[in-house]
Amino acid sequence: MDFELTREQRMIRDMVRDFAETEVAPIADEVDRNDRFPKETFEKMGSLGLLGLPISEKYGGAGADTISYALAVEEIGKACGGTGLSYAASVSLGAGPLANFGTEKQKETFLVPIAKGDTLGSFGLTEPNAGSDAGGTKTTAVLKGDRYVINGEKCWITNASYAQAVTITAVNGQKKNGKNIISAFIVPTDSPGFKITSPYEKMGVRGSNTTELVLNDVEVPKENILGDPDKGFGQFLHTLDGGRISIGALAVGIAEAAYQKALAYANERKQFGENIGKFQAIQFKLADMAMEIDLARTSVHKAAWLKDQNRPFKKEAAYAKLFSSEMATRVCNQALQIHGGYGYMREFGIERMLRDTKLMEIGEGTSEIQRMVIAREIGCF
């Protein structure tokens, strides 16, 4: 048993922390206020190699491990939740399936530019009528000659406006038992009939690009199908497991930022002639926050470690995502409470963290879905 980070992991964490403090944190408020995707930040992240962090060197990445990736996401999230979400979505959801299931040619064409930071990764699963129940996907892909023709609609897809291609799930047949076969297709965003808009007014993660996709007779070459056409959607669940680790890490980062602000504030805000941090009621809140953040981080690192060891990590990834995201909402809420009326004001940045972190309980599988995953894993049938 060894809880020590390696020297490399520490170097990566320190570098990303430094980067996030100087380049990401100072614009977090402006990005949130203006609902603006900070393209310039992603260009800088690309040139530092951050967008290819866990991707193998063969495909233009840095070949770092999942723990390093979790550390990086945490640091970015600490500075700005929205930036953190787009980062995690590009690496885990965008690059992940291409790295795991892509053919050599698909990797060359679509993974390398993501790893190098020339474009962002994006994964389109959710539809207006198919969220938690991905099996309810309505988008269809029909093979005509040597091309698939795709029709359908996707909602709340992260990064698509800044992506060269989106990996999209669609029904492309029926199994013998009548159930739909769902496959994933790599769809270049400049394909005719592919419309990408960003019509949403979000509560939080407003720096993240969230899009609606409409596909109207969009044609892609047959070889753009990702993974084994017969295996269907099941093969991609592995990708979601990996993504959950990063959402856990992101939640830890946001919580850490809120906690640090609350601790500093408690030690300087005076009421009744004393720092409010002297009051046991406030101390106990802070003690709970510190403890919960540490436990959440440990759960994230454990899941990441299992993944790095090529061991099963589905249950631990769900633990990490579920506990960290719910923890972060509690922590941000209490951090706001410690700030009193100031916390309710935009200027103090805490209300943004609370708005940002709420998404972590919803995206990449809601808390309820995480509990279902865990229940299945521990043997409830």
Partner 1 sequence: MNIYVVMKRTFDTEEKVEINDGIIDEEGAEFVINPYDEYAIEEAIVLKEAHGGEITVVTVGNEDAEKELRTALAMGADQAVLLDTEDLDGEIDHYTISEMLSAFFQDKEYDIILGGNVAVDDGAGQVAPRLAEKLEINQLTTITKLDIDGESAYIERDVEGDVEIVEANLPLLVTCQQGLNEPRYPSLPGIMKAKKKPLETLDLDDLDLDEDDLEAKTRTVDRFLPPEKDAGKRLEGEPHEQVQELMSLLKNEAKVI
Ligand X SMILES: Cc1cc2nc3c(=O)[nH]c(=O)nc-3n(C[C@H](O)[C@H](O)[C@H](O)COP(=O)(O)OP(=O)(O)OC[C@H]3O[C@@H](n4cnc5c(N)ncnc54)[C@H](O)[C@@H]3O)c2cc1C
- Asked whether position 218 contacts partner 1 by CB under 8 A, the answer is no
52/204 with CB nearer partner 1: 52
Distance from the first to the final alpha carbon of the chain: 33
Residue span binding ligand X (CB under 6 A) among the ranges 6-14, 25-33, 108-116, 154-162 = 154-162
Distances from the Cα of 166 to the Cα of 120, 348, 372, angstroms: 9, 36, 28
* Residues across the chain: 381
Among 27, 240, 276, 359, binds ligand X (CB under 6 A): 359
Residues 200-259 that bind ligand X (CB under 6 A): 202, 205, 210
Residues 25-64 that bind partner 1 (CB under 8 A): 47-50, 52-53, 57, 62-64
- Asked whether position 131 contacts ligand X by CB under 6 A, the answer is yes
Indicate if 364 belongs to the active site: yes
103/366 with CB nearer ligand X: 366
CA–CA distance, 147 with 220 (Å, rounded to integer): 6
Among 8, 118, 230, 268, binds partner 1 (CB under 8 A): 8
CA–CA distance, 26 with 200 (Å, rounded to integer): 25
Residue span binding partner 1 (CB under 8 A) among the ranges 10-18, 90-98, 175-183, 227-235 = 10-18
Residue span binding ligand X (CB under 6 A) among the ranges 99-107, 180-188, 249-257, 365-373 = 365-373
DSSP 82-130: HHHHHHHIIIIIIIHHHHHH--HHHIIIIIHHHHTTSSB--EE--BTTB
Under 8 Å between Cβ of 365 and 373: yes
Under 8 Å between Cβ of 332 and 258: yes
CA–CA distance, 93 with 235 (Å, rounded to integer): 13
* Interface with ligand X (CB under 6 A): 89, 93, 123-126, 131-132, 156-158, 202, 205, 210, 359, 362-366, 368-369
- What amino acid positions are annotated as catalytic residues? 364
